[in-house]
């Protein structure tokens, strides 16, 4: 026998788990510990009926937590205090004795906790958690009504199963309504609270400027940058273009909007990618280098192949990008050489000496680039993210002292030396590499793949140069990190996440409008000419009638001759006396006497005698009874 309270406790803790798991990563460390401890201790306390907190102490703690988090509340910090307070209130309720209203309070707090997680993340885990929560709370409320009537009630296995099955039917209507409303109501594609502008931190990732030496070390982040759905391509071509940095201020490279240059793409292999960006506060549209055009989004196109959305991408977007792998960007107009040759006034003498020596040894740009690459190889520079050069003379320290740095150091120093060698140069910021998911047919690009490389103007063409590949340990650090494969579990999970993004997160008002328009067009295309429509209708009607006739014949043939005779008699009586139906419990003789019809009485007696063997059933008797049925139908005397 199962106690009703035990069943209610099981449902309650399942609901609490569903509410807390999506919220758990966002809670403070102390609150996370409290949730885990109280959850486990609460289970044990409910089983032993010995609770951790007395009602008065629980009230005191409630007011104390309210006061603590109310002090932390301000316009810049709203969600964090609220979700931590909700989690702690849930802990208090789990740690105290539970009556009917307490269970109801736990269900309400759990719903608020799950809703709070949507303020911070739109993970695909939210959907199954929400569906299970609806079932858990609904069934819990049904069980709670039984608990309120009799807390000591016990159910056997059959009763428990029947109760749960009946209660589980109730949420199905809610889920169907949710599904219908999903296609109709407007929705958000990003967390309701904007956590997309965190404080500057020393983590790798795409940046709008390059400032080597800003941090002594950089930590990698595996957070999603974007996904690119396309065919699998070579690792040497996996350069995802974001921005171009063309101006040096001190040791910082920035982007300056300058006059448009006339350019054209020549050569290369054409390829199309569908890129899906998560919500962000930036406007950069990443493309596979070298891009030619975009579809599916409004954008601004600059001559240096930088594509910008017309407004901040505060929701997930998808667009198509056409690119030319291996193509060359040819400059048709006179380039702004002053912009691309400008260098800081405080260039290190040691760096200047390297540039002077290269200029003396080589006259053409190609020869100078080759000598510059040879210099980088000779310096035995290492790609690293720790123990980096400081902000004071970072290029000099990188090239001659520490000889270690990440892509910003390699690109900044190489770009500066190109300009000192009288070769127009600029930096390109974006991503390099990506992990291909063959389940979904797309590349997964994460923030740790953020990269900076160099473009040099040689023979009126912008050539891509990646100085980071000149690192002595490039094969074991830079290249290895950008060519590792996805495990089976990660491919599966990320495919589901991508499907969630495409089908749910990216489903917005514009998609709704497009769906309605597409449906209208398809309906118009489905409407044929009038003659075709009539002919099709007649064919369908004939098929339906033919099918009905076949079914009727099969059913009729399964009847015995006596049953067919009785069926015709009943139909005749109903027609003659305008009866809606003949009661199944009514006997033939009893019916005939009620109708006061001698012919019906004759049929009833002869049919009964024939049916029960008092009179043999032969063709002559069958014809006589059929004639009697015809008389009854026509009302003849």
pLDDT at 159: 84
Percent of the residues in the chain that have a pLDDT greater than 70, as a whole number: 83
In the predicted model, what is the mean pLDDT of residues 113-125?
77
Give whichever of 55-59, 547-551, 562-566 has the largest mean pLDDT: 55-59
Entry pTM: 0.59
Residue 24 contacts residue 32 (beta carbons within 8 Å): yes
pLDDT at 470: 94
Range 441-468 burial, b when 16+ CB lie within 10 A, else e = ebbbbbbbbbbbbbbbbbeeebbbbbbb
**CA 518 to each of CA 180, 183, 521: distance values in angstroms, whole numbers, following the listed order:** 18, 14, 5
pLDDT at 202: 41
- Of 45-59, 132-146, 323-337, 532-546, give the lowest mean pLDDT range: 532-546
Q: What would the pLDDT profile of 198-222 be if each residue is shown by its tens digit?
A: 443 344 568 888 888 666 555 566 7
CA dihedral 548, 550, 555, 560 (to 10 degrees): 140
Residue 197 contacts residue 281 (beta carbons within 8 Å): yes
Tracing tokens 């002292």 back to the chain, one arrives at 401
pLDDT tops 60 at residue 166 = yes
Q: What would the pLDDT profile of 228-249 be if each residue is shown by its tens digit?
A: 999 999 888 999 999 999 999 9
Residue 340 contacts residue 415 (beta carbons within 8 Å): no
Q: What number of other Cβ atoms are within 10 A of residue 47's Cβ?
A: 10
**Sequence-ordered strand ranges (E) for 26-160:** 154-155
pLDDT tops 70 at residue 603 = yes
**CA 491 to each of CA 1, 98, 437, 439, 485: distance values in angstroms, whole numbers, following the listed order:** 45, 44, 6, 7, 9
Residue 223 per-residue DSSP state: -
Ramachandran sector of residue 308 (left: φ over 0; alpha: ψ -120 to 50; beta: rest): beta
pLDDT at 618: 76
Alpha-carbon distance 219 to 448, whole Å?
A: 9
**CA 140 to each of CA 116, 175, 182: distance values in angstroms, whole numbers, following the listed order:** 21, 17, 25
pLDDT tops 70 at residue 483 = no
Q: What would the pLDDT profile of 507-523 be if each residue is shown by its tens digit?
A: 555 555 554 555 455 44
In the predicted model, what is the mean pLDDT of residues 604-626?
77
The number of angstroms, rounded, from the C-alpha of 135 to the middle of its chain's C-alpha atoms is 22
Residues shown for the chain: 637
Q: What would the pLDDT profile of 136-165 be if each residue is shown by its tens digit?
A: 998 999 899 988 888 888 888 888 888 888
Phi, psi of 4 (to 5 degrees): -65, -30
pLDDT at 540: 76
Task: Give the start-to-end residue ranges of the domains of the chain.
Answer: 2-184, 224-498, 559-634
pLDDT tops 80 at residue 311 = yes
Ramachandran sector of residue 33 (left: φ over 0; alpha: ψ -120 to 50; beta: rest): alpha
pLDDT category at 33 given cuts 50, 70, 90 is very high
Phi, psi of 277 (to 5 degrees): -100, 140
**CA atoms within a 13 Å half-sphere pointing along the CA-CB vector of 383:** 23
Q: What is the largest CA-CA distance in the chain?
A: 133
pLDDT at 599: 87
Residue 618 per-residue DSSP state: -
Percent of the residues in the chain that have a pLDDT greater than 90, as a whole number: 34
pLDDT at 374: 96
In the predicted model, what is the mean pLDDT of residues 185-195?
47
Mean predicted lDDT score pLDDT of the chain? 82
Alpha-carbon distance 65 to 49, whole Å?
A: 26
pLDDT at 192: 45
Of 270 and 537, more confident = 270
Q: 275 - beta bridge partners?
A: 228, 319
Q: What would the pLDDT profile of 68-112 be if each residue is shown by its tens digit?
A: 988 888 777 778 888 899 999 999 999 998 888 899 999 999 998
pLDDT tops 80 at residue 390 = yes
In the predicted model, what is the mean pLDDT of residues 301-311?
90
pLDDT category at 353 given cuts 50, 70, 90 is very high
In the predicted model, what is the mean pLDDT of residues 26-37?
91
Q: What would the pLDDT profile of 409-460 be if each residue is shown by its tens digit?
A: 999 999 999 999 999 999 999 999 998 988 888 999 988 899 999 999 999 9
**CA 429 to each of CA 99, 198, 311, 407: distance values in angstroms, whole numbers, following the listed order:** 60, 20, 20, 10
Residue 426 contacts residue 340 (beta carbons within 8 Å): yes
Residue 149 contacts residue 100 (beta carbons within 8 Å): no
The number of angstroms, rounded, from the C-alpha of 113 to the middle of its chain's C-alpha atoms is 21
Q: 247 - beta bridge partners?
A: 254
pLDDT tops 90 at residue 360 = yes
């Amino acid at each position: 026998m199962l106690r009703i309270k035990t069943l209610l406790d099981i449902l309650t803790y399942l609901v609490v788990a569903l509410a807390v798991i999506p919220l758990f990563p966002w809670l403070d460390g102390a609150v996370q510990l409290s949730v885990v401890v109280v959850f486990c201790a609460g289970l044990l306390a409910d089983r032993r009926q010995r609770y951790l907190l007395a009602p008065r102490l629980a009230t005191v703690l409630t007011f104390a937590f309210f006061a603590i988090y109310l002090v932390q509340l301000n316009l810049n910090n709203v969600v964090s205090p609220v979700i931590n307070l909700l989690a702690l209130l849930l802990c208090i309720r789990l740690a105290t004795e539970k009556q009917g209203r307490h269970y109801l309070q736990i269900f309400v707090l759990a719903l608020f906790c799950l809703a709070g997680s949507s303020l911070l993340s739109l993970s695909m885990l939210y959907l199954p958690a929400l569906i299970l929560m609806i079932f858990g709370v609904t069934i819990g409320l049904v069980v709670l009504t039984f608990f309120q009537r009799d807390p000591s009630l016990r159910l056997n296995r059959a009763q428990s199963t029947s109760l749960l099955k009946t209660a589980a039917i109730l949420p199905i209507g809610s889920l169907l309504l949710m599904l219908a409303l999903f296609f109709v109501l407007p929705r958000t594609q990003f967390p309701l609270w904007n956590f997309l502008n965190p404080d500057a931190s020393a983590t790798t990732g795409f940046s709008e400027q390059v400032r080597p030496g800003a941090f002594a070390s950089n930590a990698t982040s595996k957070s999603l940058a974007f996904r690119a759905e396309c065919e699998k391509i070579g690792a040497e071509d996996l350069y995802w273009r974001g921005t171009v940095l063309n101006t040096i201020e001190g040791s910082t490279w920035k982007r300056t909007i300058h006059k448009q240059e006339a350019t054209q793409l020549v050569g290369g292999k054409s390829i199309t990618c569908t890129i899906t960006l998560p919500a962000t506060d930036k406007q950069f549209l990443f493309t596979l280098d070298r891009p030619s055009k975009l579809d599916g989004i409004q954008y601004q196109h600059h001559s240096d192949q930088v594509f910008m959305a017309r407004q901040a991408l505060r929701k997930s977007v998808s667009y198509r990008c056409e690119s030319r792998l291996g193509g060359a960007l040819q400059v048709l107009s006179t380039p702004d050489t002053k912009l691309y040759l400008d260098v800081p006034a405080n260039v290190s003498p040691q760096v200047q000496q390297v540039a002077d020596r290269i200029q003396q040894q080589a006259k053409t740009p190609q020869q100078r680039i080759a000598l510059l690459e040879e210099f980088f190889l000779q310096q035995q520079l290492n790609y690293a993210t720790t123990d980096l050069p400081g902000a004071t003379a970072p290029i000099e320290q990188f090239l001659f002292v520490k000889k270690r740095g990440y892509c910003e150091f390699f690109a900044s120093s190489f770009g500066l030396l190109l300009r000192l060698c009288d070769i127009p140069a600029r930096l390109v910021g974006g991503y390099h590499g990506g992990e291909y998911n063959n389940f979904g047919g797309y590349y997964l690009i994460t923030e740790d793949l953020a990269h900076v490389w160099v473009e040099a103007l040689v023979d009126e063409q912008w050539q891509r140069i990646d100085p980071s590949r000149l690192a002595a340990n490039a094969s074991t650090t830079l290249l290895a990190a950008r060519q590792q494969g996805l495990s089976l579990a990660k491919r599966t999970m990320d495919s589901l996440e991508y499907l969630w993004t495409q089908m749910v997160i990216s489903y917005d008002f514009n998609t709704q409008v497009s769906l309605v328009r597409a449906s209208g067009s398809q309906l118009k295309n489905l409407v044929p000419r009038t003659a075709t429509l009539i002919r099709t209708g007649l064919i369908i009607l004939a098929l339906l009638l033919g099918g009905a006739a076949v079914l009727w014949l099969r059913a009729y043939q399964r009847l015995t001759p006596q049953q067919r005779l009785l069926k015709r008699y009943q139909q005749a009586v109903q027609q003659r006396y305008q009866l809606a139906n003949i009661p199944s419990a009514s006997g033939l003789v009893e019916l005939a006497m009620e109708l006061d019809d001698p012919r019906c009485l004759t049929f009833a007696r002869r049919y009964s005698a024939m049916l029960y063997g008092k009179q043999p059933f032969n063709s002559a008797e069958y014809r006589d009874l059929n004639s009697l049925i015809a008389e009854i139908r026509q009302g003849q005397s």
